[in-house]
Amino acid sequence: MFPRIVLFAALVILVLSCTERKTPIKTDEKITIAAYYFPNYHTGDPRNDINKGKDWAEWELVKTAQPRFPGHQQPKVPAWGYTDEKDPAVMAQKIEAATSHGINCFIFDWYMYDDGPFLNRCIDEGFLKAPNCDSIQFALMWANHDWVDIHPYTRGAEQKLLYPGKVSPGRFEEIGDLLIKEYFSKPNYWKIDGKPYFSVYDVQKFVEGFGSLEGAKAAMEKLNKKAAAAGLKGVHWNLVAWGNPVLPVENAPADTPALIKALGFNSATSYVWIHHTQLPDTITDYNWVRDRYFEHWEKVKTEYGVPYFPNVTMGWDSSPRCDLKSEWANAGYPFMNTIGNNTPENFKTALQLTKEKLLADPNGPRILNINCWNEWTEGSYLEPDTIHGMKYLEAVKEVFR
């Protein structure tokens, strides 16, 4: 009897020691899944009414999209119909679908200019008034880039600047107060270590508004102090980093790591894979783009010097923003090559590989974001369509359940 007990104990010790040596991936670790949300699918935005006509929404471009080259699948047709996201009931449907499929947070593209807000009715009237709003977290990504008239764009025409992204120091003071009062203070606002997550899309436009790095950094520190005075632990400043300009108004920073360090950002992330690679073919293979992005991720997760939250992109096709009267060519946004073969199965594989890479790093972050919940006119969306139904959302659920 006694020898058997000794043998059993020895086996237990051996198993435990082998387990320690292998350092297995902790597959049960919680990963936060955030999906970007582009809020241009509601009627009655004052700026859109002026520029596009009464009750225009970007659904109009989705409805009229057409195939532009062989093998091109357009139009994309939403399975839920052309809904109005400023309606709380519509947002409630989106929230339920997101939470039941593993999405923890919506990161809203948030437009706030020197002369006021743009596209804010989605979050202020729809999302925040939805009956199940508290069941999901939310955050803001300040889309502080110049807004040009490209909805749709006539190839070769002047890209008319409608709203400059740069804001003045005085205006940023007002924006900071608004952020704390109307958003950061909400119980379901996404916080990292007690700090509300606030992401900046165009760091160069941000700095330009203050005239110097020192001025921008001082403004960030001031907002940290205001947030602390309001009972928070400061602000979690996140930078959307990119090196391959996409929008016609974009210019990539010369030294992103230096900007992160100088301004004191707490983390960095990406918005879409094509911010880090060109698309060499009219229909570029999804898995090829994924691998190029993974190479970028491997490089910057140490180069940036702060936690890097990876991105998984569902697809890319900006052709619905191209005027149908213009001949299609790869001539610059929105006339540009696309991502194809982005099947739900390939999307699921990208999610699984991203999960494994996150969990394989014992000291790395447990956060990723997805492009996008609803970028219908850029061909990157999780919302159900009439071809694949809920399969992209089901992929998220299957990988992260």
DSSP 18-78: HHHHH----TT---EEEEEE-----S--HHHHHHH-TT--THHHHHH----STT------B
- At 12, is the pLDDT very low, low, confident or very high (cuts 50, 70, 90)? very low
Supply the pLDDT for residue 401: 84
What is the C-alpha separation between 61 and 321, in angstroms, rounded?
6
Rounded mean pLDDT of 276-280? 97
Q: Are 318 and 378 in contact (CB under 8 A)?
A: yes
Whether 392 is covered by a domain: the verdict is yes
Domain count, the chain: 1
- At 250, is the pLDDT very low, low, confident or very high (cuts 50, 70, 90)? confident
Q: Which of 4-8, 71-75, 161-165 has the weakest average pLDDT?
A: 4-8
Rounded mean pLDDT of 162-173? 97
Whether 5 is covered by a domain: the verdict is no
Q: Is 1's pLDDT higher than 80?
A: no
Q: Which helix (H) or strand (E) holds 135?
A: none
- Count Cβ neighbours within 10 Å for each residue of 112-148 and write b for 16 or more, e otherwise: bbbeebbbbbbbebbbbebeebeebbbbbbbbbbbbb
Whether 20 is covered by a domain: the verdict is no
Rounded mean pLDDT of 201-210? 97
Locate 163 and state its tokens. 């709203």
Rounded mean pLDDT of 117-123? 98
Supply the pLDDT for residue 14: 34
Whether 9 is covered by a domain: the verdict is no
Write out pLDDT tens, residues 53-109. Answer: 999 999 999 999 999 999 999 999 999 999 999 999 999 999 999 999 999 999 999
What is the C-alpha separation between 191 and 233, in angstroms, rounded?
9
Whether 287 is covered by a domain: the verdict is yes
Whether 14 is covered by a domain: the verdict is no
Whether 18 is covered by a domain: the verdict is no
Closest CA to 235 of 292, 182, 196: 196
Q: Is 200's pLDDT higher than 90?
A: yes
Question: What pTM was computed for the model?
Answer: 0.93
Rounded mean pLDDT of 315-339? 97
- At 150, is the pLDDT very low, low, confident or very high (cuts 50, 70, 90)? very high
Closest CA to 313 of 280, 282, 276, 283: 276
Supply the pLDDT for residue 21: 29
The alpha carbon of 124 is separated from its chain's Cα centroid by a whole number of angstroms, namely 19
Whether 1 is covered by a domain: the verdict is no
Locate 218 and state its tokens. 């001082």
- At 249, is the pLDDT very low, low, confident or very high (cuts 50, 70, 90)? confident
Domain span at residue 138? 27-400
Q: Are 292 and 249 in contact (CB under 8 A)?
A: no
pLDDT above 70 coverage of the chain, percent: 93
Q: Is 16's pLDDT higher than 80?
A: no
Supply the pLDDT for residue 149: 94
Higher pLDDT, 148 or 245: 148
Q: CATH code at 142?
A: 3.20.20.80
